[in-house]
Amino acid sequence: MAEAKTNSEDYLRMYTQMVRIRTFEDNANQLYLSAKMPGLTHMYSGEEAVAVGICEALTDNDRITSTHRGHGHCVAKGANFKEMFCELLGKEEGYCRGKGGSMHIADQSHGNLGANAIVGGSMGIATGSALRAKLLGQDDVTVCFFGDGATAQGLLYEVMNMAALWHLPVIYACENNGYSEYTKTEEIAAGSITARAEAFGIEAFKVDGQDVLAVNELTQKLVARCRKGEGPFFIELETYRYHGHHVGDINREYYRSKDEEKDWKENRDPIVRFRSWLVDQGIATEDEIEAMNAEIKKDATEAVAYAEAAKYPDVSEVDMHVYAD
């Protein structure tokens, strides 16, 4: 694995955050399967190293925009389980008072400008956040998460053009998990994805999205350069989603094989890889890691129980927040 210049504490936090994402998703999936969650949700499992590698290179002051597959970004940017599960269940104590749900979780306190249910819908928002930073002389950086499917949206090319023209502090992070909803990416994407950014004069990088240290090391460098006015940048992160497009997408052999899924899970899992690296480096023992995992599981179980018991918003809230004061 790549070496990022961090200390043991940073490594352990990255591991913890990846496990927190996986654990959150396992619980969210269970809530869906047991019919306790209204609606559908899109699992981030398998892509943890992307969100964590990137968000660990950011401060609370830096902004991100997220996607319909956004729980990972939300956790990685610092959100709490309790408010997240409350939001997934439509409860009053959710991050958005139950009005957004899985696809619109926003946690402004940690700089998360929100998930977005329109594929590619937040590219303007992320770039606009970066424009604001430049105009007002603020030194924060914005990361725009989107999937390979979103590279087909014209908006990306409009905003990358402006970001490049005006040297905006934004990093476009393309999570290429190989599938555009229920279709192989190679069937919807012509040519090279990074070359598209390069056509605007944007430096573009391709990185193993299952290697949290590689992702983190690259992002740290790019964030520092963005703060010096050298942005924008583009990163294509090669990754994989373990579940279907959403939790209800169970029978998916018509678009991808079980062998392929097995191969990624057994040979390229970002958590398993990082865990064995931590043990090899003597940063943590197996026992310590098991204890960390157990603690996270306990937190999640408690948060789920809390959210299940939490109250729904009062019906009087239905027309609150349509307009700001």
Partner 1 sequence: MREITLSQAVNEAIAEEMRRDPTVFLMGEDVAEAGTPFKVLSGLVEEFGTERVIDTPIAEPGFVGLAVGAAMTGARPIVDLMFGDFIYLVMDQLCNQAAKQHYMSGGKLSVPMVLRTNMGATRRSAAQHSQSLQALVAHVPGLKVAMPSSAYEAKGLMKTAIRDNNPVVIFEDKLMYQDKAPVPEEEYLIPFGVANVKRTGTDITFIATSSMVQVAEKAAEILAAEGISAEVIDPRTIVPLDEATLLESVRKTSRAIVIDEGHQSYGVTAEIASRLNEKAFYHLDAPVLRMGAMDVPVPFSPALEDITVPTPEGVAENARKLCAGEMIHAA
Chain contacts with partner 1 (rule: CB under 8 A): 63, 65, 94-100, 104, 106, 108, 113-114, 116, 118, 121-133, 135-136, 142, 154-155, 158-159, 161-162, 165, 320-325
Closer CB to partner 1, residue 101 or residue 244? 101
Closer CB to partner 1, residue 124 or residue 178? 124
With tokens 């070359």, the residue in question is 195
Closer CB to partner 1, residue 104 or residue 265? 104
DSSP for 227-268 reads: HTT---EEEEEE---SS-SSTT----TTTS-HHHHHHHHHH-
Q: What is the smallest separation between the CB atom of 159 and partner 1, expressed in angstroms?
A: 5
The gap from C-alpha 163 to its chain's centroid, in whole angstroms, comes to 22
Q: What is the smallest separation between the CB atom of 100 and partner 1, expressed in angstroms?
A: 4
Q: What is the smallest separation between the CB atom of 182 and partner 1, expressed in angstroms?
A: 22
Q: Which long-range contacts (CB under 8 A, 24 or more apart) does 22-25 make?
A: 22/48, 22/271, 23/293, 23/296, 23/297, 23/300, 24/71, 24/75, 24/81, 24/84, 24/300, 25/71, 25/72, 25/243
How far is residue 128's CA from residue 125's CA, in Å, rounded to a whole number? 5
Q: What is the smallest separation between the CB atom of 265 and partner 1, expressed in angstroms?
A: 33
Sheet containing strand 203-208, strands side by side = 63-65, 142-147, 170-176, 233-238, 203-208
Q: What is the smallest separation between the CB atom of 54 and partner 1, expressed in angstroms?
A: 18
Closer CB to partner 1, residue 90 or residue 270? 90
Closer CB to partner 1, residue 22 or residue 91? 91
Please report which helix (H) or strand (E) contains residue 163, including its range.
helix 154-165
Closer CB to partner 1, residue 114 or residue 149? 114
Q: What is the smallest separation between the CB atom of 108 and partner 1, expressed in angstroms?
A: 5
Q: What is the smallest separation between the CB atom of 61 and partner 1, expressed in angstroms?
A: 11
Residue pair 239/177 in contact by the 8 Å Cβ criterion: yes
83 three-state secondary structure: helix
Residue 30: burial class (beta carbons within 10 Å; 0-12, 13-18, 19+): middle
Neighbours of 323 (CB within 10 A): 6
How far is residue 69's CA from residue 54's CA, in Å, rounded to a whole number? 16
Q: What is the smallest separation between the CB atom of 79 and partner 1, expressed in angstroms?
A: 13
Closer CB to partner 1, residue 132 or residue 256? 132
Closest to 155 in 3D by CA, of 113, 194, 127, 180: 127
How far is residue 282's CA from residue 138's CA, in Å, rounded to a whole number? 40
Closer CB to partner 1, residue 131 or residue 215? 131
